[in-house]
Amino acid sequence: MTSIQTPPQPLKHPHPEERPHFGLIIVGDEILSGKRADKHMPRVIELLGERGLQLDYAECLGDVPERITATLRRAFASGDAAFCCGGIGATPDDHTRQCAARALGVPLELHPQAERLIRERMQDIAREQGTTYEPDRPDNIHRLNMGVFPQGAQLIPNPYNKIPGFSCAGPGGGAVHFVPGFPVMAWPMIEWVLEHHYAHLFRQAAYEEKSVIVFGSMEAALTPLMEEIERVHAGVKVFSLPSVDHPEYGRHIELGVKGDPAAVAAAYPVLLAGLHGFNAQLGPELVRKT
């Protein structure tokens, strides 16, 4: 792993006693056009789940500066922790760095540590190719744009090629962590962010889901029961996942509660009792813990 000499400063959260919501922002026309399939969301869900955390939302944006800026401005104001994948290069269709600066209302500047790392990378390439490193050659000067970040940004090390990503905190307490679109770079960089900025949250509170397969009932009929459980049992969410062509269960609803294990333990029997009141046909029960 490439090292960053200056240790990261803890990113401020407006309510440090609370777990921030984790978000994912994916930038790139190639995802929306279907040229490439997104691989980031499944992996980010895994990385968070391995640490007792969960992804709360995800957005996919094309290479439209106005939309990227608006999305980042909202993230910075939210108090959330978001990962932004893609668009931090130095080609004409890369807008994320500039949009981040506009969203924060700060200037862009060449980060001195990023400059050092990028120059190291260019020297490595010259050695690999058996050529002489020419720091003032136009293409090498252009590559330094990859280290031009919003003022005050903190670096995220890139173990693949040393070209760093960056993190910024907004005035509303939201933190956005910017990494490349390439999974081979992005995923270890996201892991680094989790380990260095959010380790205090790992498995701080266990999470559990309990659900049951329900046959022969409709969501509309079960909605009052779901609403009553959420009203009475704080700390749980009721979820309903209908299916019309499941290979094993056919048409059914997976109905359950999720959240803090103690709250789930109290709410789940109430859910089952309520279902018996509907004379619903119940199938297997499912449990998922993190």
Contact 167, 189 (CB under 8 A): no
pLDDT score recorded for residue 281: 92
Average pLDDT, rounded, for the chain: 91
Using the predicted structure, report yes or no on whether residue 82 has a pLDDT greater than 80.
yes
Domains, in order of start, for the chain: 22-201 (3.40.980.10), 208-289 (3.30.70)
Contact 211, 239 (CB under 8 A): yes
pLDDT score recorded for residue 18: 65
Using the predicted structure, report yes or no on whether residue 5 has a pLDDT greater than 50.
no
Model confidence over 88-103: pLDDT tens digits?
999 999 999 999 999 9
Contact 226, 258 (CB under 8 A): no
Using the predicted structure, report yes or no on whether residue 184 has a pLDDT greater than 80.
yes
Terminal Cα distance for the chain, rounded: 27
Q: Which of 213, 205, 196 is nearest to 235 (CA)?
A: 205
50: three-class secondary structure by DSSP: coil
How many percent of the chain have pLDDT more than 70? Answer: 92
CA–CA distance, 221 with 275 (Å, rounded to integer):
10
Residues 6+ away with beta carbon under 8 Å from 253 = 213, 214, 217, 219, 222, 240, 241, 242, 243
**Full-model pTM:** 0.80
Q: Average of pLDDT values for 50-55? A: 90
Q: Average of pLDDT values for 154-172? A: 95
pLDDT score recorded for residue 277: 84
Q: Average of pLDDT values for 252-256? A: 95
Contact 283, 246 (CB under 8 A): no
Q: Average of pLDDT values for 31-35? A: 95
**Structure confidence at residue 3 as a pLDDT band (50, 70, 90):** very low
Widest CA span in the chain: 79
Q: What counts of helices (H) and strands (E) characterise the chain?
A: 9, 12
Q: Which residue has the tokens 């029960």?
A: 285
Model confidence over 187-219: pLDDT tens digits?
999 999 999 999 998 876 677 899 999 998 889
pLDDT score recorded for residue 52: 85
Q: Average of pLDDT values for 35-40? A: 95
Contact 153, 167 (CB under 8 A): yes
Ranges of beta strands (E only) in the chain are 22-27, 55-61, 81-85, 108-110, 148-150, 154-156, 165-169, 175-179, 208-215, 236-246, 250-259, 281-289
pLDDT score recorded for residue 204: 62
Structural tokens at position 218: 């409709």
Structural tokens at position 13: 């959260």
Using the predicted structure, report yes or no on whether residue 9 has a pLDDT greater than 70.
no
pLDDT score recorded for residue 70: 98
pLDDT score recorded for residue 235: 82
